[in-house]
């Protein structure tokens, strides 16, 4: 592992075009639960009821109650060393982007500027009927919240299962991955698409692909480096430039 760390450190030092794909594992050390690992959210809650449009329209109050609880826990969370080290690395590179599957906003709180929120943000919400959209860190008392413009239901501005990634977000992300020389993917089980496609796209294009995870994923044997361990520790080691 030591040799791998040294090789990756040199690659990150010498490469100017880097894209990072992050998942829930990078925020685990900030106390935010993951979805599919160690007692993750989908082991405790019903995905269909809470993270699909059908579940929302069937019981919007229940879905908002769940998102209210997640807003509370995310508001009390802070970025960890992994988030800060990526923000530092961004400042040293001309082409450096984070495509995050996370909705917690911790990359931005750590100082990262070029962050694409591939699945949205838990503090953004939009009307189910009109074009109203807003950002607020409110924990709603009255549930479900209603659009102040047209009095229809408000929903979290998050991409749920069965929904498409907004086209502009997808195209921007795809193009960034095309242009990058290195893809670093951190703390993601790499089983949700189209985000996981960026790993395949990078492997197919012959880019340098680096995995950081506590466990192996379906791509571990296909990538250039599969670094097993906690994101905060490994990112600190590989960014010691
Ligand atoms: N350091 C590194 N990796 C970690 C850590 C850590 N401290 N803790 C957990 N992990 C790894 C786990 O081994 C797991 O592979 O992070 C990964 C988290 O996987 P998931 O819980 O599936 O989260 P993610 O990959 O982000 O899920 C993708 O699925 O439910 C949807 O929209 C949701 O964005 C989410 C998407």
- Domain at 33-76+123-158: CATH architecture: 2-Layer Sandwich (3.30)
- Name the active-site residue from 83, 107, 119, 197: 119
**What's the chain's length in residues?**
241
197 is catalytic: no
| pLDDT tier at 3, thresholds 50, 70, 90 | confident
- What pLDDT shows up at residue 166? 97
| Structure confidence by residue, pLDDT tens digits, 107-154 | 999 999 999 999 999 999 999 999 999 999 989 999 999 999 999 999
Which tokens sit at 12? Answer: 């990150």
| Structure confidence by residue, pLDDT tens digits, 186-198 | 999 999 999 999 9
User: How many Å apart are CA 225 and CA 1, to the nearest integer?
Assistant: 10
User: How many Å apart are CA 209 and CA 46, to the nearest integer?
Assistant: 33
- What pLDDT shows up at residue 85? 98
Ranges in the chain annotated CATH 3.30.1600.10: 33-76+123-158
Ligand 1: distance of its center to the CA of 129 in Å?
A: 32
Which tokens sit at 160? Answer: 């749920």
Beta strands (DSSP E) in the chain are 17-22, 95-100, 115-117, 120-127, 133-135, 154-158, 182-186, 208-213, 225-228
Lookup result for tokens 């931005």: 108
User: How many Å apart are CA 146 and CA 93, to the nearest integer?
Assistant: 43
The answer to whether 135 and 155 are in contact (CB under 8 A) is no
- Atom of ligand 1 lying closest to residue 212 CA: 2
Q: Is the pLDDT of residue 216 over 90?
A: yes
- What pLDDT shows up at residue 2? 81
The DSSP bridge partners found for residue 20 are 98, 184
Of 24, 103, 216, the one to substitute when testing ligand 1's pocket (max ligand atoms within 8 A of C-beta) is: 24
- What pLDDT shows up at residue 43? 92
User: How many Å apart are CA 189 and CA 176, to the nearest integer?
Assistant: 21
Ranges in the chain annotated CATH 3.40.50.1220: 1-31+80-119+165-241
User: How many Å apart are CA 209 and CA 183, to the nearest integer?
Assistant: 5
- What pLDDT shows up at residue 142? 94
pLDDT, mean over the chain: 97
Q: Supply the angle between the helices 167-179 and 197-204 in degrees, to the nearest 10.
A: 30
User: How many Å apart are CA 71 and CA 82, to the nearest integer?
Assistant: 21
Ligand 1: distance of its center to the CA of 149 in Å?
A: 37
Q: Region 35-48: what's the mean pLDDT?
A: 92
Q: Find the residues whose C-beta lies inside 6 A of ligand 1.
A: 23-25, 28-29, 34-37, 40, 101, 119, 187-189, 192, 212-215, 230-231
Ligand 1: distance of its center to the CA of 189 in Å?
A: 5
| Structure confidence by residue, pLDDT tens digits, 5-29 | 999 999 999 999 999 999 999 999 9
Q: Region 72-90: what's the mean pLDDT?
A: 97
Q: Is the pTM of this model over 0.85?
A: yes
Q: Is the pLDDT of residue 218 over 80?
A: yes
User: How many Å apart are CA 48 and CA 194, to the nearest integer?
Assistant: 19
Q: Which fold has domain 1-31+80-119+165-241?
A: Rossmann fold (3.40.50)
Q: Region 64-90: what's the mean pLDDT?
A: 97
- What pLDDT shows up at residue 241? 65
């Amino acid at each position: 592992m030591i040799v791998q760390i040294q090789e990756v450190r040199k690659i990150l030092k010498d490469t100017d075009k880097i894209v990072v794909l992050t998942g829930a594992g990078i925020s685990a050390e900030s106390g935010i639960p993951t979805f599919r690992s160690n007692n993750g959210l989908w082991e405790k809650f019903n995905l269909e009821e809470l993270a699909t449009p059908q579940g929302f329209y069937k019981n919007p109050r229940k879905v908002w109650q769940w998102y209210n609880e997640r807003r509370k826990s995310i508001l009390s969370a802070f970025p960890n060393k992994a988030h800060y080290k990526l923000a530092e690395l961004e400042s040293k590179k001309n082409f450096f982007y984070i495509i995050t599957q996370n909705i917690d906003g911790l990359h931005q709180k750590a100082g990262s500027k070029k962050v694409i929120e591939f699945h949205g943000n838990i503090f953004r919400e939009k009307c189910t009927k009109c074009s109203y959209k807003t950002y607020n860190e409110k924990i709603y008392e009255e549930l479900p919240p209603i659009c102040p413009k047209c009095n229809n239901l408000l929903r979290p501005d998050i991409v749920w299962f069965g929904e498409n990634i907004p086209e502009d977000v997808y195209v921007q992300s795809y193009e960034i991955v095309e242009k990058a020389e290195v893809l670093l993917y951190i703390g993601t089980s790499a089983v949700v698409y189209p985000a996981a496609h960026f790993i395949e796209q990078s492997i197919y294009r012959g880019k340098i692909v680096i995995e950081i995870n506590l466990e192996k994923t379906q791509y571990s044997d296909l990538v250039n480096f599969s670094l097993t361990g906690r994101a905060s520790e490994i990112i600190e080691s590989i960014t010691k430039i």
